[in-house]
Amino acid sequence: MHSVELLPDAVTERAVREAWRRLADAGLPSLAGHRHPTNRPHLTLASADALPAEVRARLLRALAEALPVPLRLDGFVRFSGRFRVLAWAVRPDDALLRLHGAVWRILREAPESGRPHPLLDPARWVPHVTLGRARDASWDVPADEVLSSSTGTSAGVVTGAWTAARSYDSATRTVEGLAP
């Protein structure tokens, strides 16, 4: 599986890593403990079985034309299923929604890429930055104890920009840059 991900500016990345650290310090599941070199804060736009050269070229053009786009993290979002996930909610603006739609269309219109992941369909997408995940986790911690307010905005709110993009290959556990 190949994902298409946006990467935040340096200030936002530090805020997310600080939230990871705070969760870990509280003894809660956190991505701070995930030591693989590809682990970093990101927003997944779409994923597909493959990214052939022509599809990759189209993605490169779309991402290069759109980035940077505004970023706003605001509050917790939780997911349940096989794994429970705690994430920082991404509040998308029109530019991010247009970029997400463009990336989704590129993959959907390329049968050689395989089927895009249905949870990332624009009608179902819940944009977020994962903070922690585990099978039976419960994050009974107030947002203001985890989410950084070091940016000078209200607690739990970070504004910045999505400045770069990458593709993550889950089979080889490698990344490739897609925009700047």
**In 3D, which of 90, 175, 81 has the Cα closest to residue 131?**
90
CATH code, 7: 3.90.1140.10
Q: What does R_g of the chain's alpha carbons equal in angstroms?
A: 16
pTM of this structure: 0.88
- Domain of residue 173 covers 2-179
Question: Is the pLDDT reported for residue 42 higher than 80?
Answer: yes
Angle at 46 (CA atoms; ends 40, 50), nearest 5 degrees: 100
- pLDDT of residue 73 exceeding 90: yes
Placement of tokens 């993009």 in the chain: 165
Tokens of residue 26, six digits: 């509280």
Residue 134 near residue 82 (C-beta atoms within 8 A): no
pLDDT recorded at residue 10: 96
Q: Where are the beta strands (DSSP E) in 49-173?
A: 69-79, 84-90, 128-134, 157-169
Do residues 4 and 113 make contact, with C-beta atoms less than 8 angstroms apart? no
CA–CA distance, 54 with 114 (Å, rounded to integer):
14
- Roughly how many angstroms between the first and final C-alpha of the chain, as a whole number? 22
Q: Residues 48-57: what's their mean pLDDT?
A: 91
Q: State the pairing for strand pair 84-90/128-134.
A: antiparallel
Instruction: Give the per-residue pLDDT at 58.
Output: 94
Q: Which residue has the tokens 């307010």?
A: 149
Question: What would the pLDDT profile of 95-149 be if each residue is shown by its tens digit?
Answer: 999 999 999 999 989 888 887 787 888 989 999 999 988 877 665 666 666 665 5
- Tell me what pLDDT residue 137 has: 63
Does 179 score more than 80 pLDDT? no
Residue 13 in this model has a pLDDT that exceeds 80: yes
Task: Tell me the H-state helices in the chain.
Answer: 10-25, 53-66, 94-108, 143-146
Specify whether the CB–CB gap between 131 and 16 falls below 8 A. Answer: yes
Peptide bond connecting 29 to the previous residue in cis, omega within 30 degrees of 0: no
- Predicted confidence at residue 163, as pLDDT, reads 97
User: What is the number of domains present in the chain?
Assistant: 1
- Give residue 160's pLDDT: 96
Residue 140 is predicted with a pLDDT of 66
